[in-house]
Amino acid sequence: MERKPVLDIKIESNGPALHMTAESGEILMIPFRGSAKGDLFTGIVEPCGVDTQVVNAARVRHMSARYMLTGTDADGNACHIYIENNGWFDDRHPSMPFQTVPTFYTDSPRLAKYLHRNQFVGQGVNEDDGLHIRFYEIDRAL
Residue 142's pLDDT band (boundaries 50, 70, 90)? very low
Q: What is the average per-residue pLDDT within 20-34?
A: 96
> CA 44, CA 59: separation in Å to the nearest integer?
33
Q: How far apart are the first and last CA of the chain?
A: 8
Average pLDDT, the chain: 93
Beta pairing partners, 110: none
The predicted-structure confidence for 35-63, as pLDDT tens digits, reads as follows: 999 999 999 999 999 999 999 999 999 99
Judge whether 41 and 69 are in contact, CB under 8 Å: yes
- Prediction pTM value: 0.92
Alpha helices in the chain (DSSP H): 109-115
Q: Which fold has domain 3-138?
A: Porin (2.40.160)
Q: What is the pLDDT of residues 68-100, one digit of tens each?
A: 999 999 999 999 999 999 999 887 777 778 899
